[in-house]
Amino acid sequence: MQCWTLIAVLLGVACWASPALGSGYQQQQLYTDVNSFARVGTTKFRGSSLNVFEIDGVQVAEPRVAFRASCNALKYSRVYMKYRLTLSVSIDANTLRSAKDGSKKVGQVTITGLKVKANKGLSSRQSGLSLMTILKNSGRSADLVFLCSSFRRCQYLREELLSNPSDVAEALQFEAFGRVGSSPVRFGAVRGASLPRLRCNRRRWIVFQRRVDGSLSFAQNWDAYVKGFGNPRSNYWMGLDRLSEMTKTSIKNGYKATARCRLRARNPELRR
């Protein structure tokens, strides 16, 4: 089950995601800070040193949050009326192993929420930016979604991710919320254990018009053609405003961004 809460960036960014409860602020009040429990050591997992705590008679390690390789094509969200760029993160919550001699009892952590904060540096460099997290796979992973006020703004963010991923990673902190048995626990804020990685097939196509049948008339007025209409998965026109913004020539970083168009007729009757 997925749930998300969006908080716009002013001087900083904080966003909460949980499949269980409603208000992010109220959720946080229900969880006990992990530092209220005894810290009994550390453990190593995939190069990360994780604190180990004893909670209700069992030992658990703090969750490890790491960026995954992502192919984050920019998309437009009709729900939030903004452009979105998504990074994937993994959440390893159960990294501690029981001792062979049975000297320690290891508990299980169930992740119920993930909060992300951005420092003021990222906020000032990327004005008009919002963040949200979406839990997936029963809390084993999440999507970190950047919502931008314009397509160009998301492009600038993507360029920063490509050229300075360490700067972006340094600006973000994650705070996981979970349950150990019946105890709700808020774990401390940590940075991602790896850098954001953008990997994908560069030869991608963006659909700006699609006609599959006659269920939607394309005899629209000028305002409709400027703003766009239809459904991207069916009959669709992107809109002149968005199409113009996506195809503007750029000379940033010493290269020009260009666009080319390919027309395809999937319906054999349209080829006659």
Note the pLDDT tens digit of each residue in 168-194: 889 999 999 999 998 999 999 999 998
Query: What's the total number of domains in the chain?
Result: 2
Q: Tens digit of pLDDT for each residue in 99-129?
A: 666 677 899 999 999 999 888 777 667 677 8
236 versus 21: the higher-pLDDT residue is 236
If asked whether residues 168 and 241 sit together in one domain, one would say no
Residue 15 corresponds to which amino acid? C
If asked whether residues 188 and 212 sit together in one domain, one would say no
Residue where a domain terminates, one of 184, 200, 216? 200
Residues contacting residue 29 through CB under 8 Å, at least 6 positions apart: none
If asked whether residues 183 and 48 sit together in one domain, one would say yes
Is 148's pLDDT higher than 70? yes
Residue 178 lies in a domain: yes
Distance CA 92, CA 88 (A): 13
Residue 195 sits in which domain range?
A: 32-96+105-200
Residue 4 lies in a domain: no
Distance CA 164, CA 138 (A): 31
Supply the pLDDT for residue 244.
75
Q: Which helix (H) or strand (E) holds 153?
A: helix 151-163
If asked whether residues 196 and 112 sit together in one domain, one would say yes
Q: Is the pTM of this model over 0.85?
A: no
